[in-house]
Structure 1
Amino acid sequence: MYSFKLIRCTALFFIAGIITKSVKAQSADSLIYPDEKHFKNIQQLTFNGDNAEAYWSYDDKQVIFQRKYEKEGIMCDRMFIGNIPEKGKQFVFKQLSSGLGRTTCGYFLPGGTEVVYASTHLGGDSCPPVPDRAQYGNRYLWPVYGSYDIFLADTSGKIIKQLTKTNGYDAEATLSPDGKKMIFTSDRNGDLDLYVMDLATEKVMQITHELGYDGGAWFSPDGTKIIWRASRPKTPEDIKDYKDLLSKGLVAPTQMEVFIANADGSHQQQITSLGQANWAPNFTPDGKRIIFCSNYEYKHGFPFNMYLMNLDGSGLEKISHGNGFDAFPMFSYDGKKLMFSSNRSSGGGYDINLFMVDWEE
């Protein structure tokens, strides 16, 4: 949903008028750290701003991502799409969303001509306010804006349909492999839970019910399982804190673990017990393992690296070895490449850029 920083009506036509070329394609394997044995032929796709949640089209030819770059007047996340470049070529991308409100979590439908994403534009043209962390002891917090709804749009930017219409937060959507079902997070029943929508009928089913934040869910490649991140407050103090923050449209994403279940929500199991923030989970293309992001090795909460794990929680393997931020991994559907967001080229600075590597087992 959101990238961790260092400490830090219905027929609306979207204007896809901003077209951007990355400064140059980066292929220097100096950006691959020692022990990153699965990475080869790294390509840096973006070179400034905060670029995150880059997800492949089903044919591996395009990517959709969210971007914020105040120097370009992009004051909060907007949705962008671009074609995957050949090695050594520039990454050319264009703005998909209108620039009204804030957007998050874009995802292609099969065919590559339509996408879903969440937007706050029905709640106002401006970027929604960010939390004042000083009011909460300078804790790291995620806002869960009640103005977020999920929309279906084509790749020219035209909104085709508003998919969610309930009051409150609806976001973090991804699709089943056949594109027929959408899994997303909503607080429509008073807590942040997972829901599945049949896109043909728009019938919605709630599939998690335990107190805590359930989000960032993905279907397995065969569509039979789901994986997601969740918080599970247990003590009276933690429960009160979670509920108090949620009543203000906030969550503290510093204690999360990865869960797996059948696609209908049955047989839920926690598969990480590492402590701290374990999030952005996704399946490997063969469906036999997961890849996720964690800061569990570092007591002060940073850096974040990516890890592999078997579906039963065994076989933990560290994949990235940076000293900053590596997250939001997604394999191409053919399993040959990995896309992720990182600040590895900015010397640990604030810019979060998109990187693509050839994947080697």
Structure 2
Amino acid sequence: MCKNLFCSLLLLCCFSFSFAQIHYPQEKHFKNVRQLTFGGNNAEAYFSPNGKKIVFQSDYQAWGVSCDQIFIADLKKDDLKKKKPKMISTAKGRTTCSYFMPDGKHILYASTHKADAACPHVPKSPSGKYVWAIYDSYDIFIADLNGNIIKQLTDTHGYDAEATVSPKGDKIVFTSMRSGDLDLWVMNIDGTGLKQITRDLGYDGGAFFSPDGSMIVFRASRPKTEDEIREYKELLAQGLVQPTNMEIFVCNADGSNLRQITNLGKANWAPFFHPSGKKIIFSSNHFSKRGYQFNLFMIDLDGKNLEQISFDNVFDAFPMFSPDGKKIIFSSNRNNGGTRDTNLFIADWVD
């Protein structure tokens, strides 16, 4: 017990520092912030339709994986600090972008396992710039909650990934190279009725439907100059994209009324609709002098009223609201002990 003012102030400072690692004072939209994972790179966590479970990807070696695999967790029952969550993917190849199907009993995700059981080689940019790998062996699968693959939705050679489901339960949007560029495609929930909905040159990805299923939000690069176009095409031919210059776009679910929402510069990505359907939350480094600091921002559909939401000094991304709009989950470098670990955090959302 503290017996003097100095001791009391010291404890207060220590408490504030510890608290600030999880929840920064400026984060007025967050309440009851809780850390869910405690090691590795954990990302793209998305709620089940009833909001009780999450599905996410992780490369945490303590869980016995060498590259990203898909895991599921019960938000009330599973303590991920104490035990490994249930793996849904095959433990072969590399996976990405998992999402619950409308029945809550199946998972949608992309995987390279049919091409090779080993983790694919991580390529490096010939210019030394930061790049993402676009593996042509990715295809989209549906699995049950025991990890049994029920159906393969895509089998076209080339990148098929980043699939998410409409809240209406009728459509899936995903990114594909089948047109020769990284465009958005929509299909019926059973994989039929393929339709291309974007056609402009550049990487279109990370798409999500609005709460009522009427609109789609996504990130996109739009190379304009001859040099930008040449570089984009040269990297794409090597299975690479440079994600350092992207903006947020919105269109109707059928691809009509396509419009650009942000014009901030640098990398604006990982968008998701606010529960009202009238705003978008996304990750951005447009304000950062260092380039690698990403925080969450929110903006109206008309591109006005930009508001900073998160304030970690390294990285916040992949926000998703629960189906009832009461919670938000996101990935962050906060409270990682100075490592490069990216962990999952969940909070009550305060409008």
TM-based fold match above 0.5: yes
Is 1:358 matched with 2:311?
A: no
Equivalences for residues 1-361 of structure 1 within 5 A = 31-85=22-76, 93-133=85-125, 136-200=126-190, 202-361=192-351
Change (3 A) 1:88 1:120: closer
Separation in 2, partners of 1:88, 1:160: 28
Separation in 2, partners of 1:306, 1:295: 9
After superposition, the C-alpha distances for 1:158-198 in whole angstroms (9 at most, x for unaligned) are 00010001110000000011221100000011100000011
Q: Is the Cα–Cα contact under 8 Å of residues 38 and 81 in structure 2 kept in the other structure? A: no
Per the normalisation by structure 2, the TM-score is: 0.91
* Alignment-mate amino acid for residue 312 of structure 1: D
The alignment-based identity, stated in percent, is 56
Displacement of 1:298: 1.1
Q: Is the Cα–Cα contact under 8 Å of residues 82 and 91 in structure 1 kept in the other structure? A: no
Bigger-Rg structure (1/2): 2
After superposition, the C-alpha distances for 1:80-124 in whole angstroms (9 at most, x for unaligned) are 001112799978621111111000000001221011000000110
Separation in 2, partners of 1:58, 1:51: 21
After TM superposition, where is structure 1 displaced by more than 4 Å over at least 4 residues in a row? Answer: 27-30, 86-92
Separation in 2, partners of 1:128, 1:87: 30
Separation in 2, partners of 1:84, 1:91: 14
Change (3 A) 1:236 1:73: same
Q: Is the Cα–Cα contact under 8 Å of residues 21 and 334 in structure 2 kept in the other structure? A: no
Task: Tell me the secondary structure at the aligned position of residue 121 of structure 1.
Answer: coil
Q: Is the Cα–Cα contact under 8 Å of residues 50 and 352 in structure 1 kept in the other structure? A: yes
Separation in 1, partners of 2:130, 2:61: 21
Q: Is the Cα–Cα contact under 8 Å of residues 70 and 96 in structure 2 kept in the other structure? A: yes
Displacement of 1:200: 3.5
* Alignment-mate amino acid for residue 129 of structure 1: H
Q: Is the Cα–Cα contact under 8 Å of residues 257 and 272 in structure 1 kept in the other structure? A: yes
Tell me the C-alpha RMSD between the 2 structures: 1.8
Give aligned pairs, total: 333
Separation in 1, partners of 2:262, 2:337: 30
Q: Is the Cα–Cα contact under 8 Å of residues 40 and 360 in structure 1 kept in the other structure? A: yes
Q: Is the Cα–Cα contact under 8 Å of residues 63 and 84 in structure 1 kept in the other structure? A: yes
Separation in 1, partners of 2:100, 2:20: 30
